[in-house]
Amino acid sequence: MTTTVPGTSRTPGPSGQERADPLNPPADPHNPLAGPWDAAGFERRLRGLAAARYHDRHPFNRRMHAGGLSADELRTWVANRFYYQCAIPLKDAFVLTKLGTPDRRRSWLRRIQDHDGLTEGDGGIERWLRLGEAVGLRREDLLTHRRLLPGVRLAVDGYVGLCRDGTALEAVASSLTELCAPSIMLTRLEAFPRHYPWIDPAGLAYFRDRVPQGRRDAAEALAWVTEWALTRAEQEQALAALSFKCDVLWALLDSVQGASAPTALR
Ligand SMILES: O=C(O)c1cc(C(=O)O)c2c(n1)C(=O)C(=O)c1cc(C(=O)O)[nH]c1-2
């Protein structure tokens, strides 16, 4: 069996030393003529980027999962993340307009339905509102975005803008942070009852439902991105879109964290 050395596109030679693979040349980001990575190498780069830059490493998320947030910090996060929740079906509607076949549109449409629900009182946005009530926020405060921070608005609007103005490849690739999302949901399902027992566990339904949805969505997006990005330039575009999305999630938490800092430090 031929194995590829992680992070390179070279294969080990018979005596263990590397030999160049002419069909899969080594990475050189400055060479416009560089050939594409093979499917496995491209997928490894997508997964590696998402894992290295995902917001589970952000100090605010680390503190959340270790039980270090005050009730007010949790409320600030939930209220601000609601703006992201509301933006997801909007960006998915832009993605839909870029998909050229009924089967792909039918499949992507499911994401909008996951968040908006098929009927009143159903769906992810409603479940996030219930999470808000469970942490002590009024529904009305969420719906009016009264606590929305300017940096969160800019970050989330940036994500919607990428999906509006970018190619189908960029828009779908930017959703690939979801490769890491099921694991962060499981972390919260374990951490919240332990560290924040004052939150009604019924309010955590959003996190529970996102585990299978995130797995399914990430697998679908990964299959499409690896099918579409055939040239090195397209692969780089997909990686850049995913990198941008990592920045969106990171910047959102930077803002939320800044709002919790003591006034003297702001
Ligand atoms: O709480 C989180 O950490 C988190 C992260 C992400 C993500 O990685 O993009 C999503 C979600 N949640 C989420 O709930 C969600 O519905 C979702 C949709 C998407 C997307 O880009 O299409 N990401 C995420």
pLDDT at 34: 81
pLDDT tens for residues 148-171? 999 999 999 999 999 999 999 999
C-beta neighbour count of 256 within 10 angstroms: 23
pLDDT tens for residues 7-27? 333 333 333 333 444 444 445
pLDDT at 7: 33
Mutate which of 99, 113, 178, 206 for ligand 1 pocket (most atoms within 8 A of beta carbon): 178
Check: CB of residue 114 under 8 Å from CB of residue 124: yes
198 pLDDT higher than 80: yes
- Burial code of 229-242, b = ≥16 C-beta within 10 A, e = fewer? beebebbbbbbebb
Mutate which of 56, 88, 179 for ligand 1 pocket (most atoms within 8 A of beta carbon): 88
What ipTM describes this predicted complex?
0.94
Q: Tell me which of 5-9, 217-221, 239-243 is least confident.
A: 5-9
Top-confidence residue, 16 or 147:
147
- CA 240 – ligand 1 centroid, Å: 18
Question: Where exactly are the structural domains of the chain?
Answer: 64-257
Residue 12 β-bridge partners: 18
Check: CB of residue 4 under 8 Å from CB of residue 26: no
For the domain spanning 64-257, the CATH number is: 1.20.910.10
Please, what is the average pLDDT of the chain? 89
Residue with tokens 């938490």: 253
